[in-house]
A and B are shown apart, each in its own frame.
Chain A
Amino acid sequence: MVYPSLAMGAHRLWRPLGAIAQTALVLLVVSGISFMFLKLSPGDPVAIMLGSDFSRDSYDLLYRQLGLDQPWFQQYVQWLSRFVRGDWGMSYVSKQDIFEQSVLQALPVTLTLAALSLAVALLVGIPLGVLAAVRRNSWMDLLASAVAIGGNAIPSFYLGVVLIWIFSVAFGWFPSMGYVSPWSEPLTGLWHLALPALTLGAWYVGLIATVTRSSLLEVLEQPYMAAARARGEPSWRVIWVHGMRNVLMPLITIIGLQLGGMLRGAVMTEVVFTLPGLGMMITSAVQTREYLVVQAGIMITALLFIAVNFTVDRTYSLLDPRLRKNAR
């Protein structure tokens, strides 16, 4: 996302500004691509809005009202200014404001699911990776690499179905569908989200365990680890304080880099468990050919993607004092 060549050698003030300018440029290209997508989509938007029965005059009127008689570039500018103001149009299937439907209703569901899955993945993945590194070549190490290979290869929609079969159908412990917000009803909400979070998190667990293991193995060789041990610090402190501090960087990098995989999994997980998130929204919008809603969905995911990459880039200097020193 960030192009060092442009920022290199510049005054320290220019560095964040350059990154922001680059991001703004990417946003502009993204909006252009989304707009083109809307223009490329088959079907006549006017005919779709008017329904099956309409007169020539009302068609022409709406055509002009929508600005379709103007050149493309002007249409794009108008669309962009409406988009920035949150005027995204009405959905003709749900008869709802699209901004409200996507940003206020669907997005929080997806974000909650993603956050919970990440929590599951970190809580399981980091200890697994640490144990695999500390007890190298033990059964723990074998388990970690098995989880990594399996988690990477088993598609989340399949894992979801298997978990439903085991935990909903056979044992009846968790519900197989439906969403209750954990923000308003914590216990019921978490109970409903347990299987989805496990499904989506499984993909991350292996990745996090692998990165933790390989980075920690490298860190363990460093002289400061021997120094910490020589000072007589307890081994848990050596590993979790001195060791893990240096594992954080690669860990955050990989979490940021793999966000696309997370979103991919989130879409499928939402559909398996019928959670009313962004993935579900885009999927049904594609099926009913509601291009305005699809467009809103792809814009939101792209913005999310860019925002996370931007934050991950910024976080490096916070975590690594060496980078901070260079920047000053």
Chain B
Amino acid sequence: MLADSNIRASGPSPWQRLTRHLMRSWQLLRRQQKAMAGMGIVLAFVVAAVFAPVLAPYPPTEQNFMDAMQGPSAQHWMGTDSFGQDILSRVFYGARSALWIGFASVALGLVVGVAVGLLAGLRGGRTEWVLMRVVDGLLAFPELIMAMAFMAVLGLGMNNVILALALSFVGPFARTVRADVLQVKARPFIEAARLMGVPEREIVRRHVLPNIASPILIQAGMRISIAILLASGLSFLGLGVVPPTPDWGLMIAEGRGFVSMAPWMAGMPGLALATLLIGLNLMAEGLRDALDPKTRGDKP
């Protein structure tokens, strides 16, 4: 404990350094037009998702067969589907499930992946070998196929989609974390802390985690758009969220059958999905350029 307080007294703590690093990155991020455009798009979708009950002109599952399959009009800005449900309202509510699945599955996969990667990187030896061979095996399955297989075992529904996606993200996260831990572990300040008698848990919390935080954040940022893409893909295949939940993938699947009569049924939710994915990709690219010292100088 004495050693601890000594370290704390000498200069900023690693977490303070990380926050400072993040603040600096934020300032760099603000200078990037691409990243800011992406952030604007994502923010608009977040607002639509949070305030869906206020913004949506109709309840998302209100069926009105008199108004089925109408084109965009003053009453229904994005038209109606084959059940006479208002597509604009369903797009707003769809943003909810898309963003929730995206963030939740990445967060869950991140926690488990970081734990596995830390364990492998810090323990080394046999533990590392076994864990990394399992990760290799997991990485040999393409993500979508893996998520589909998990859906077969778990059954349909939103929570299972989150679980299936999270499980298929554990491999990539674990691999990145382990590689970063191995790099950090070799640095002199870790050995110094160890020699000073700082307990292992404290070393991880104060020295390892802050130093691997930004590569993990970059990867998490990239994964969110993949998660949303995969989730809507699962619903499109009929292996994800179940109707009548307003979900973009489901809406596109339904609209596919009516593409000659009512192209807006698939067109509108697809447009929303593509726009959100473009926004997330731009944001993730900007985040990477701002946080990664290697690319920082390259792009203005």
Contact = CB atoms under 8 A, between A and B. Distances in A.
B278 A165 contact: no
A14 interface: no
B136 to A, nearest CB: 5
A286 B270 CA distance: 24
Interface string B271-300: 001100110011000000000000000000
Contacts of A272: 256
Nearest to A304: B142
A305 B140 CA distance: 6
Interface stretch (A87-95, A114-122, A124-132, A151-159): A151-159
Contacts of A312: none
Interface in A271-306: 271-272, 282-283, 285-287, 289, 291, 294-295, 297-298, 301-302, 305-306
A67 interface: no
Contact of B259 (A153, A165, A295, A301): A165
Contacts of B153: 37, 40-42
B145 A298 contact: yes
B141 A305 contact: yes
A86 interface: no
Name the interface size band of chain A: 35 or more
A26 interface: yes
B255 A161 contact: yes
Interface stretch (B78-86, B114-122, B197-205, B230-238): B230-238
Contacts of A302: 140-142, 145
Nearest to B277: A153
Contacts of B138: 33
B140 A306 contact: yes
Interface in A43-77: none
Interface in A141-188: 149-150, 152-155, 157-158, 161-162, 164-165, 169
B274 A158 contact: yes
Given A165-B259, A165-B263, A153 B274 contact: yes
Contact of B137 (A32, A155, A158, A295): A32
Interface of A: 1, 25-26, 29-30, 32-33, 37, 40-42, 149-150, 152-155, 157-158, 161-162, 164-165, 169, 259-260, 263-264, 267-268, 271-272, 282-283, 285-287, 289, 291, 294-295, 297-298, 301-302, 305-306
Instruction: Give 10 nearest A-B pairs by CB, closest first.
Output: A29-B137, A158-B270, A153-B277, A264-B144, A260-B142, A153-B278, A286-B152, A263-B142, A169-B260, A302-B140
Given A25-B133, A41-B153, A287-B238, 7 more contacts: A29-B140, A154-B270, A157-B249, A164-B256, A264-B142, A264-B233, A301-B145
